[in-house]
Amino acid sequence: MRDPKRIPRILTLLFKIWEQQPDLRFNQLVQNLQAIYSQQNNNFGKRHFYEKDGEISYQNYYIDLFYLEDDQWEKFLRDYWSEIEEELQEREQQITPEVVDEIVQLFIEAGMNETEVTDSLKERIRLFLKKESKWLTIEALLIAIKTLSLTERKELVEKIKRI
């Protein structure tokens, strides 16, 4: 009998991974993960077939992990999640006090009063950068903020204050 405790462990891993890619539909996520697993494991589960479109016949494939044991899938998901965690930690380390101060200066240039600069605001800026660094590097985020108009910077600081 298979260990029933594997179910919450595997679902928790899928949940964490999916949270980092919220724009994916669930089946997109699963299909992407299956393709990665297959690529990393000598094309395990890759099934080739031929399709005919009128007179033209072409080869295609799909991934079938029906026979993959849950412990192997769980190990793959754990390793995949570990890679994501490492990347998140690296990005978070790039959010230095100097980076936060640089953004504060950009907001002050846009008309924010210096008395509004608090530790709480700086923490919210850090949280904003952490969240947005899923999509862009910290360097790219800085460039993006610098290229905003003064009005857009004001809008951004108001958004950050509500985080």
- Domain chopping of the chain, boundaries: 6-87, 97-161
Residue 131: pLDDT band by 50, 70, 90 thresholds? confident
Q: Is the entire prediction scored with pTM above 0.85?
A: no
Q: Mean pLDDT throughout 91-101?
A: 95
Give the tens place of pLDDT for each residue, 58-86: 999 999 999 999 999 999 999 999 999 99
Dist CA 95 CA 97 (whole Å): 7
